[in-house]
Amino acid sequence: MAKTARMADADFEAFYERHWKYVFRLCFTYMKSEADAEDCAEDVFVKVLTGSFTFTNETHERKWLTVTAINLCKDKLKSYTRRQVGSIDDDRMPEIAAPEEEDQSEVLDAVKSLPPKLKDVIWLYYYEDYSTDEVAALLHRPASTVRNQMRDARLLLKNILEGGGQNG
């Protein structure tokens, strides 16, 4: 079902319920703060509520939300002019941020520590199940660049997880 002009309250409520956890989790991987992630996620939904967008299906909705959330987070991080010190503590991580916390928390922390360009491709490919061609289209990069960034990210993740840190 296509959404036209501004969504009716009931349509927006269903849209919000369908996508909130996904958008929040995505924002959290960038912002590393529950409050900042919530602010960014809310901004994404404000754009939907106040804009005149036409979504052809749920896949189109999700792709638009992904690109919009990533761009908003990057913009906010630039405007904060802050640099993240250290990695996030497990006690600050909301439950929905890591569905399989016990087995995946170390990997997720390593992914979060990647440089943004590498984190983007890894997140979209492994956590959101997009193909490399879809990731390339979402990020407006050539598919070969995405494949090279995935290779670089995997090597860096291997080094991080083996205890070598990012400088190896």
Higher per-residue confidence, 68 vs 81: 68
With 80 as the cut, is the pLDDT of residue 145 above it?
yes
Could you read off the pLDDT of 119-129 as tens digits, one per residue?
889 888 888 88
Say which residues have a Cβ less than 8 Å from residue 115's Cβ, sequence separation at least 6.
none
Mean pLDDT of 9-26: 89
> What's the one-letter identity of residue 37?
A
What's the confidence (pLDDT) of residue 99?
Answer: 40
Give the predicted TM-score (pTM) of the model: 0.60
What's the confidence (pLDDT) of residue 87?
Answer: 39
Q: Six-digit token pair at 160?
A: 């991080």
Confidence band for 98, pLDDT divided at 50, 70 and 90: very low
Query: ∠44-61-74 over CA atoms, to 5°?
Result: 35
Residue 114: φ, ψ to 5°? -70, 155
DSSP state of 123: I
With 70 as the cut, is the pLDDT of residue 27 above it?
yes
Taking the C-alpha atoms of residue 162 and residue 159, their distance in angstroms, rounded to an integer, is 5
- Report yes or no: 56 and 2 within 8 Å, Cβ to Cβ: yes
Taking the C-alpha atoms of residue 67 and residue 63, their distance in angstroms, rounded to an integer, is 6
CA distances in angstroms from 58 to 13, 64, 135, listed in the order given: 14, 10, 17
What's the confidence (pLDDT) of residue 166?
Answer: 56
Confidence band for 45, pLDDT divided at 50, 70 and 90: very high
> Per residue, what are the HEC states of 82-101?
CCCCCCCCHHHCCHHHCCCH
Structural domains present in the chain: 1-95 (1.10.1740), 98-168 (1.10.10.10)
What's the confidence (pLDDT) of residue 160?
Answer: 86
